[in-house]
Amino acid sequence: KGGAGLTPAEGGWLPVGPSAVPFDGKAITPVEASHGELERIVEAWIAATRRALAAGFRLIEVHAAHGYLLASFISPLTNKRTDEYGGSLDNRMRAPLQVLARVREMVGKDFMIGVRFLGEECIKGGYTTEESATIALRMAQSGVDYISLSAGGKFEDAVHKEGEVLY
């Protein structure tokens, strides 16, 4: 799973995320990923792709929703970076697009790749349906064969206290 959504009950791992912002009140605060760690994250996706290919899988879906690491980069709620991986939507999409490009490069054009992300975070300050259309376009331009949309975020503890849940 990784990312800001990692909870202490999930093996005691110290999560890495785009910024030191927890996904919800139950998650632990991740350590902001360095540029070197970002390179290792991309390489970890390539290693996972190799394992999937060796196991005979015929498609790969990159998960960029529900507080997972790549989702944390896309969301303005968990990505507070001020470098080329944060700020604008283009910058927040940089890490997920790098993963998709490397996976595509590894498997070739005839292998199916999908991506799952949120059509809307449904949380005040999260990305909207309008931004999601841009995200989908950029994902499609990156060479994915299909997009799997979900909706909703998980900042329940912090959000419910303030009454900011939009759904």
Which residue among 68, 127, 146, 167 is the active-site one?
A: 68
CA-CA distance, 60 to 105, in Å (whole number)?
13
Q: What is the DSSP string of 62-99?
A: EEE-TT-HHHHHH-TTT----STTSSSHHHHTHHHHHH
* Contact predicate 38/105, CB 8 Å: no
- Mark whether 85 is an active-site residue: no
Q: Which of 124, 165, 163, 126 is nearest to 4 (CA)?
A: 126
Catalytic residues: 68
